[in-house]
């Protein structure tokens, strides 16, 4: 439905435009949405796998469902869950690689806190099954007692009935949409309770408002609208580019260039079709934070046509159910080989013979009939099963495989392949046949990363401490957007570098509002899956001999989730570093290199050494004095002992004349 360029002049004109835009969305995709909803029920809700034609042919007879399609869809969905796309942030132009790493860690934390995998899986479920899914990006307050906000990624429970984009948008991610709706129906009682002052139009007189006001329910909608605006941009002498609205004159910084750019102002309000119930609220970026994800989508005659895996596989599944139901009925009506008998043989025993198919009686009574060819009833060979039944069943089963691209090997069934490489090649054929679904989901995740990346400097623009996550889930806390007062300029400025903490230590801070960054997507096995594959490879290498075995053992221990291995890992790493098998870390190199002496420490060491020498000299003096004192004590004790001892007899002098004999003794 074409729109005029005239702006709404009155409030009623404005709401008439909102109703007109929503009607244009419904008119453009009502048929697609109805088919998609039927496809979703066909795959996931029992009792929806019979069409009117074959259902009428069966009449009141049993209609069995053998939902082989469901498993094929789950194969594609679970392949995507095992290879969830990961958002990667890269620095561009004046962006900083470290700040890009901070942003990426913040986005990981946002995904973790949001349980974003639920939103991705839920949107993928609808896209793969029915052709269209969606999720959204929101901002929420950290707590009731805080004014800081966090970015969150949330699922949309019923995207087929609630999310509507501008039908004139042509980009796959709908980034060029002028408006969008997220619709919800509430009861009239709930409507009056939530918005007691709102006007709830009577059902009988609501023809002007279409089906916005029903007999029992009222439609409410988030109405997102993008309005084109002109914005003046300034190039400053310090290299920054800022919007003129955000710029205040600063001493020493001049405007060197300016230009006007075309951009958009995005607003959101909750409307009832007649009035605004809440809002309008300005959204900080021009991106509508609702992300579509597609299944199969093509453009035919200027309009998009989309569907999921169910649409082309419906007929094969219906035929398979019809043929299996007929087959089961034939088997049920022929449980035993028939009997050949005459009326006289079963006369009086008709009830027992009538219950032959169900009673499973051990024996049956009969009357001998001399006129019969055989005195007793006798069995006849059972009718042969028509080969056509089996051929038709096999054909319908093969049609399902061909349409979905999921063959037996993809589902783990044994085939004639014997080598592991051949088996993996067959399994990958199914992945390749349905890779477009994974690719579309990756595009939607990338769009999510772009919206979150643009929101980060708007939401995380104050000084705070945030948590970031590494690829392995390890958490780290960093301070961002530290502000200091520039007294000369009279304003607060953000500081990047290191600031003094309360305890006097220097801590790094990051201004994540600065720089430019783009977003890419990395697809493949999750970090946990990659780690398990690494562990398996390391275990095989560890069985070899030589240095490679030691390296593999170290890598194997690192890949395990075993608690209490830190000391063992560190000891093993030091051994490998000492043997030259691992390069030394910065800490190892610092320990191996001689440290430059600190002058203060040198002075303290010299004073300590001088004191030690003085103490040593004093100790020697004290020891010498003690030894001298001990010697004096021993000398005095000796003298005292000598004074108290009895006199020693003196020896007699030898005579001067020789004794008799003429000589002295000893001569």
Report which of residues 290 and 341 the model is more confident about: 290
Mean pLDDT across 481-499? 55
Residue 418 near residue 400, CB atoms below 8 Å? no
Pairwise CA distance, residues 366 & 352, whole Å: 10
351-364 burial, b at 16+ Cβ within 10 Å, e below that, comes to: eebeeeeeeeeeeb
- Element spanning 465, H or E: strand 464-469
- β 506-510/475-480 pair status: parallel
What does the pLDDT read at residue 666?
42
**% of the chain surpassing 70 pLDDT:** 74
Instruction: Quote the Cα angle for 59-64-66, to 5°.
Output: 145
Q: Please report the pLDDT score of residue 180 as a whole number.
A: 96
User: pLDDT tens-digit profile of 154-177?
Assistant: 999 999 999 999 999 999 999 999
- 585/573 Cα distance (integer angstroms): 10
Q: Give the residue with greater pLDDT, 660 vs 193.
A: 193
Average pLDDT over residues 124-145: 92
49-64 per-position pLDDT tens digit? 888 888 888 888 888 8
Angle at 156 between CA 162 and CA 513, to 5 degrees: 120
Is the separation of the CB atoms in 584 and 577 below 8 Å? yes
- What pLDDT is recorded for position 665? 43
User: Quick one: average pLDDT of 556-583?
Assistant: 70
**∠78-82-86 over CA atoms, to 5°?**
125
> What is the rounded average pLDDT of the residues 186-199?
90
Mean pLDDT (whole number) for 389-407: 76
Residue 583 pLDDT: 77
pLDDT for 463 equals 82
Greater model confidence, 337 or 137: 137
Residue whose token pair is 């408006």: 179
Which residues make beta-bridge pairs with 164? Answer: 181
Q: What is the pLDDT of residue 423?
A: 57
pLDDT one-digit tens code per residue, 591-612:
655 555 666 666 776 777 777 7
Half-sphere exposure of 535 (CA within 13 A, CB side): 12
Rounded mean pLDDT, 520-532: 62
Residue 175 is predicted with a pLDDT of 92
Rounded CA-CA distance 568/498 in Å is 35
Task: Give me the percent of the chain exceeding a pLDDT of 90.
Answer: 26
- By CB atoms closer than 10 A (0-12, 13-18, 19+), residue 561 is exposed
Please give the structure tokens belonging to residue 614.
Answer: 């003085």
What is the pLDDT, as a whole number, of residue 346? 84
The residue length of the chain stands at 667
Query: To the nearest 5 percent, what fractions of the chain are helix, strand and coil?
Result: 45, 20, 35
Residue predicted with more confidence, 481 or 554: 481
State phi, psi for 290 to the nearest 5 degrees: -125, 125
Around Cβ 617, how many Cβ atoms within 10 Å? 10
Query: Is the pLDDT score of 667 beyond 50?
Result: no
Report how far residue 203's alpha carbon sits from residue 211's, in angstroms, rounded to the nearest whole number.
9
Per-residue pLDDT tens over the stretch 358-394: 777 778 888 888 888 777 888 777 666 677 767 777 8
Q: How many CB atoms lie within 10 A of CB 75?
A: 21
Average pLDDT over residues 289-315: 92
What's the whole-number average pLDDT of the chain? 79
pLDDT of residue 41 exceeding 90, the answer is yes
Q: What span, in angstroms and rounded, lies between the C-alpha atoms of 56 and 380?
A: 35
Q: Which of 167-171, 286-290, 391-395, 451-455 has the lowest mean pLDDT?
A: 391-395
pTM of the full predicted structure? 0.70
**Distance (Å, whole) CA 213 – CA 220:** 9
pLDDT, residue 193, reads: 92
Quick one: pLDDT band at residue 31, thresholds 50, 70, 90? very high
Half-sphere exposure at residue 145, Cβ-oriented, CA atoms within 13 angstroms: 0
Give CA–CA dist 347/175, Å, rounded: 83
User: pLDDT (tens digit, 9 = 90+) per residue, 617-632?
Assistant: 777 777 777 777 777 7
For residue 429, pLDDT over 70 is answered with: no
Residue 224 has pLDDT above 90, yes or no: yes
């Amino acid at each position: 439905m074409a729109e005029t360029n005239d702006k709404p002049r009155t409030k009623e004109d404005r709401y008439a435009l909102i109703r007109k835009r929503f009607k244009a969305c419904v008119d453009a995709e009502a048929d697609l949405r109805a088919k998609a909803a039927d496809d979703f029920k066909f795959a996931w809700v029992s009792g929806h796998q019979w069409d009117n034609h074959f259902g009428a042919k069966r009449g009141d007879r049993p209609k069995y469902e053998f939902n082989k399609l469901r498993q094929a869809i789950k194969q594609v969905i679970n392949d995507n869950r095992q290879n969830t796309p990961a958002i990667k942030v890269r620095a561009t132009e004046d962006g900083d690689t470290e700040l890009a790493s901070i942003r990426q860690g913040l986005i990981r934390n946002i995904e973790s806190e949001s349980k974003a995998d639920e939103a991705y899986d839920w949107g993928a479920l609808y896209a793969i099954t029915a052709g269209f899914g969606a999720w959204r990006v929101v901002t929420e307050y950290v707590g009731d007692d805080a004014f800081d906000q966090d970015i969150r990624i949330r699922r949309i429970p019923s995207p087929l009935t609630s999310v509507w984009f501008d039908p004139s948008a042509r980009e796959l991610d709908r980034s060029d949409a002028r408006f969008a709706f997220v619709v919800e129906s509430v009861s009239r009682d709930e409507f009056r309770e939530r918005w007691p002052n709102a006007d709830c139009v009577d059902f009988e007189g609501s023809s002007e408002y279409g089906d916005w006001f029903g007999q029992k329910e009222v439609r409410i909608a988030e109405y997102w609208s993008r309005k084109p605006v002109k914005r003046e941009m300034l190039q400053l002498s310090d290299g920054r580019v800022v919007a003129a609205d955000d710029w205040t004159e600063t001493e020493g910084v001049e405007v060197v260039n300016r230009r006007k750019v075309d951009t958009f102002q995005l607003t959101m309000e909750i409307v009832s079709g007649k009035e605004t119930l809440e809002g309008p609220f300005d959204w900080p970026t021009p991106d509508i934070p609702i992300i579509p994800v597609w299944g199969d989508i093509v453009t035919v005659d200027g309009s998009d046509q989309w569907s999921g895996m169910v649409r082309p596989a419906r007929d094969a599944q219906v035929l398979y159910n019809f043929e299996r139901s007929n087959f089961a009925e034939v088997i049920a009506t022929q449980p035993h080989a028939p009997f050949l008998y005459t009326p006289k043989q079963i006369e009086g025993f008709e009830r027992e013979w009538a219950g032959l198919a169900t009673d499973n009686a051990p024996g049956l009574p009969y009357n001998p009939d001399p006129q019969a060819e055989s005195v007793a009833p006798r069995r006849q060979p059972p009718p042969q099963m028509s080969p056509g039944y089996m051929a038709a069943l096999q054909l319908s089963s093969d049609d399902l495989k061909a349409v979905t691209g999921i063959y037996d090997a993809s589902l783990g069934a044994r085939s004639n392949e014997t080598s592991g490489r051949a088996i993996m090649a067959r399994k990958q054929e199914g992945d390749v046949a349905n890779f477009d679904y994974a690719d579309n989901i990756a595009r939607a995740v990338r769009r999510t990363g772009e919206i979150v990346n643009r929101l980060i400097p708007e939401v995380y623009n104050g000084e705070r401490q945030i948590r970031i996550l590494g690829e392995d889930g390890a958490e780290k806390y960093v301070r961002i957007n530290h502000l200091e007062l520039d007294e000369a300029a009279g304003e607060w400025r953000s500081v990047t570098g290191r600031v003094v903490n309360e305890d006097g230590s220097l801590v790094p801070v990051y201004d994540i509002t600065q720089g430019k960054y783009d977003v890419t997507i990395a697809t493949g096995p999750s970090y946990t899956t990659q780690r398990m594959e690494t562990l398996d490879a390391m275990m095989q290498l560890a069985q070899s001999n030589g240095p490679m075995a030691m390296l593999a053992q170290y890598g194997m221990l690192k890949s395990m989730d075993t608690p209490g291995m830190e000391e063992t890992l560190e000891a093993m790493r030091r051994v490998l570093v000492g043997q030259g098998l691992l390069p030394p870390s910065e800490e190892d190199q610092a320990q191996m290199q001689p440290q430059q002496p600190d002058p203060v420490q040198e002075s303290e060491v010299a004073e300590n050494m001088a004191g030690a020498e003085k103490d040593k000299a004093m100790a020697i003096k004290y020891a010498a004095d003690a030894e001298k004192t001990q010697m004096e004590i021993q000398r005095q004790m000796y003298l005292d002992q000598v004074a108290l001892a009895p006199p020693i007899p003196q020896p007699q002098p030898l005579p001067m004349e020789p004794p008799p004999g003429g000589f002295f003794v000893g001569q």
